[in-house]
Amino acid sequence: MTEFVYPPVITAAKTLFRVLGMRFHVEGAERIPQTGGVVLVSNHISYLDFIFAGLAANPSGRLVRFMAKKEVFDHRISGPLMRGMHHIPVDREAGAASYRAALNALKGGEVIGVFAEATISQSFTVKDIKNGAARMAAAAGVPMVPIALWGTQRMWTKNRPKRLFQRKIPITILVGEPMYPKRGDDFNKINEELRAQMSELVDRAQREYPDTPAENEKWWLPAHLGGTAPTPEEAAELDRKELEERAARHAAREAERAKGEPAA
């Protein structure tokens, strides 16, 4: 696969990180295989997580193809970049095609990045895990590697203003032990094990994080650590309301579309 876009984007991102004086702590990157298909499963706390989760594979010389919502590919700026880097669009209403595309990429030796919580965790804890990542890894016969990110939420997260150029933000990237799902496994059990490992990684990243928020900055700290982020229960309610609003918008669009169709 010809790579005209991805390498220059990585170079530009690293240059920007140096200009901003960002501090990275990356641990366990050697656990990502240098060859063959791999499913990377990251927690999701920021709109920029695909950038930083991708950095975890950089020491192994791998380029990660992330599964991202279709709307990102429809954007006039991000769309051409996402397509140029051969990421995989996910249409929530027609997910089978994106699953097949990811599975074919895995069988072709690619690294696929997945945010198995599906949406950003507003509580900054690990939400319930969807089983698509484990099923893909099992179907392709490849390892599944968990990743924990911390600090990325300070740059741009849900319901907070962007701080893309804030200087000297520490970013923690922890890579966990590979898992090897097989066809016929109990995927509910595998998801429990994956969530447990990801939660342990995220907890450690939070405990060891070098910055402490000022009183008016505690929004980026989870409630159980004294922050003002929503509790997991409050975040779940916010997610529920968002889903209802999205469904209502979709229904309204479908109704408008039906009005414009000729009668049978």
pLDDT value, residue 263? 55
Region 232-236: mean pLDDT is: 98
User: Does residue 205 or residue 246 have the better pLDDT?
Assistant: 205
Q: Which CATH class is domain 6-216?
A: alpha beta
How far CA 92 is from CA of 40, 98, 250, 258, in Å, comes to 20, 10, 12, 21
List, for residues 188-224, the tens digit of each pLDDT value: 999 999 999 999 999 999 999 999 999 999 999 999 9
User: Does residue 80 or residue 258 have the better pLDDT?
Assistant: 80
pLDDT value, residue 1? 76
pLDDT value, residue 258? 87
How far CA 16 is from CA of 9, 20, 167, 175, in Å, comes to 11, 6, 10, 23
As to burial, measured by CB atoms within 10 angstroms (0-12 exposed, 13-18 middle, 19+ buried), residue 72 is middle
> Given a cut of 70, is residue 8 above it in pLDDT?
yes
Band of residue 262 on the pLDDT scale cut at 50, 70, 90: low
List, for residues 108-150, the tens digit of each pLDDT value: 999 999 999 989 999 999 999 999 999 999 999 999 999 999 9
DSSP bridge partners of 179: 144
Band of residue 240 on the pLDDT scale cut at 50, 70, 90: very high
Band of residue 92 on the pLDDT scale cut at 50, 70, 90: confident
**Distance between CA atoms of residues 171 and 157, nearest Å:** 14
Residue whose token pair is 């599906």 = 118
CA angle in degrees (0–180, nearest 5) for 233-190-25: 70
pLDDT value, residue 233? 98
Band of residue 2 on the pLDDT scale cut at 50, 70, 90: confident
